[in-house]
């Protein structure tokens, strides 16, 4: 499709292109919408041929008709929460995104190079889109397993995948979590922690949630591995944060969660959350007690309603979260980031 036809199709879909031609708009990618094409599902798919790094994205939402627009990107990352605009209303939103290769899980499929954005929502209306390099932006690194990672396929969704919507321009989530990883394997595989370590800059927070796959890791080894991660982050000037794992949805008859399987006690009797809490105290690192937070939420909902947080119905899976569960758990993490001063208020939504 020629550029003029592409822009006309985008205008028909969104009803909100600015009057000025994209080629004459300010910024290295023009108006930005000339990098987009309408998709069959009613969204607008945009691609920017950029190198790995951090980039600021500025988008003007709205148009002649009322709308409701959300932005996702790369491997199903939620970048901007759905935002309503009234007829004739325009609002500007911006965020920073981490572009890397591979774009999702470090040991997963490579995905496409560059930056991919999807302008969607229940009634997308977009006037302009601009992408600019943000070399000085901080990154919030995530070290974790499949409950955290950028899951490639629906309905699986990691809480780290939904965290970016809580951050403003100036800091990007760099989700290096990978399915199936333990403290042992994350340290052993050069594609995992070595890559995180090389990218850390002074002041970057690094959240570590590893426990689900340490099923045969003894207590001493588990503590030593977490200690190594903390010390190596500090050596690079980063700010390590220990995170207890999300609970499994595994109930007792009385409606409380099982003290073993649900609360991450492994086959050797190692109580992972207890070990993490104690280690955070002895090492002086911030602690996000996601086990306690998710336990309270799951027990509040009870055995039936809590199924919606996990893939119980779809996959008979009580470990991995749905979009709803990942969204709720990401919000819990974001609240802790603010409460504990891990990310400054000015960078949080």
Task: Provide the pLDDT for residue 26.
Answer: 41
Whether 149 contacts 158, CB under 8 Å? yes
Instruction: Note whether 104 and 80 are same-domain residues.
Output: yes
Task: Provide the pLDDT for residue 109.
Answer: 87
CATH number at residue 324: 3.40.50.1110
Whether 83 contacts 69, CB under 8 Å? yes
CATH number at residue 48: 2.60.120
Instruction: Note whether 144 and 275 are same-domain residues.
Output: yes
Instruction: Note whether 96 and 165 are same-domain residues.
Output: no
Task: Provide the pLDDT for residue 112.
Answer: 87
Instruction: Note whether 204 and 267 are same-domain residues.
Output: yes
Instruction: Note whether 162 and 204 are same-domain residues.
Output: yes
Instruction: Note whether 342 and 241 are same-domain residues.
Output: yes
Last residue of a domain, one of 133, 155, 178: 133
Task: Provide the pLDDT for residue 23.
Answer: 32
Instruction: Note whether 208 and 323 are same-domain residues.
Output: yes
Which residue is associated with the tokens 């400054």?
A: 344
Question: Computed from CA positions of residues 325, 327, 330, 336, in that sequence, does the dihedral angle turn out positive or negative?
Answer: negative
Instruction: Note whether 168 and 258 are same-domain residues.
Output: yes
Token pair of 175 as six digits: 């989700």
Instruction: Note whether 244 and 154 are same-domain residues.
Output: yes
Which residue is associated with the tokens 């689900």?
A: 212
Number of domains into which the chain is organized:
2
Task: Provide the pLDDT for residue 208.
Answer: 98
Task: Provide the pLDDT for residue 207.
Answer: 99
Instruction: Note whether 98 and 144 are same-domain residues.
Output: no
Last residue of a domain, one of 80, 113, 133: 133
Last residue of a domain, one of 84, 103, 133: 133
> Which residue stretches of the chain have pLDDT < 50?
1-30
Domain span at residue 51 reads 3-133
Task: Provide the pLDDT for residue 177.
Answer: 98
As a whole number of angstroms, the distance between CA 25 and CA 29 comes to 8
Whether 161 contacts 174, CB under 8 Å? no
Instruction: Note whether 129 and 164 are same-domain residues.
Output: no
Instruction: Note whether 242 and 286 are same-domain residues.
Output: yes
């Amino acid at each position: 499709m020629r550029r003029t036809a592409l822009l006309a199709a985008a205008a028909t879909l969104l009803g909100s292109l600015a009057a000025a031609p994209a080629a004459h708009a300010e910024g290295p990618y023009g108006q930005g919408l000339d990098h987009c094409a309408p998709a069959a599902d009613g969204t607008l798919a945009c691609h920017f041929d950029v190198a790995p790094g951090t980039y600021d994205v500025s988008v003007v939402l709205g148009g002649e008709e009322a709308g409701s627009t959300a932005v996702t990107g790369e491997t199903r990352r939620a970048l901007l929460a759905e935002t309503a605009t009234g007829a004739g209303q325009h609002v500007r939103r911006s965020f920073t995104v981490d572009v890397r290769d591979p774009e999702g899980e470090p040991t997963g499929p490579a995905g496409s190079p560059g930056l991919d954005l999807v302008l969607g929502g229940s009634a997308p209306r977009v006037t302009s889109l601009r992408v600019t390099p943000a070399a000085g932006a901080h990154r919030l690194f995530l070290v974790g397993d499949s409950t955290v990672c950028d899951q490639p396929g629906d309905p699986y969704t990691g809480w780290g995948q939904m965290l970016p919507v809580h951050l403003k321009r100036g800091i990007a989530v760099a989700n290096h979590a990978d399915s199936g990883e333990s403290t042992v394997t994350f340290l052993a595989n050069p594609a995992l922690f070595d890559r995180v370590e090389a990218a850390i800059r002074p002041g970057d927070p690094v959240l570590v949630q590893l426990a689900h796959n340490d099923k045969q890791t003894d207590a001493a080894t588990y503590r030593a591995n977490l200690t190594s991660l903390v010390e190596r982050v500090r050596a690079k000037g980063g700010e390590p944060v220990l995170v207890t794992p999300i609970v499994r949805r595994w109930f007792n008859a009385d409606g409380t969660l099982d003290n073993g399987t649900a609360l991450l006690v492994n086959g050797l009797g190692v109580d992972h959350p207890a070990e993490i809490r104690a280690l955070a105290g002895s090492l002086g690192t911030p602690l996000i007690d996601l086990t306690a937070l998710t336990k309270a939420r799951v027990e509040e909902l009870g055995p039936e309603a809590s199924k919606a947080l996990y893939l119980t119905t779809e996959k008979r899976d009580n470990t991995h979260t749905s979009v709803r569960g990942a969204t709720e758990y990401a919000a819990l993490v974001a609240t802790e980031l603010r409460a504990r001063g891990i990310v400054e208020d000015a960078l949080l939504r």
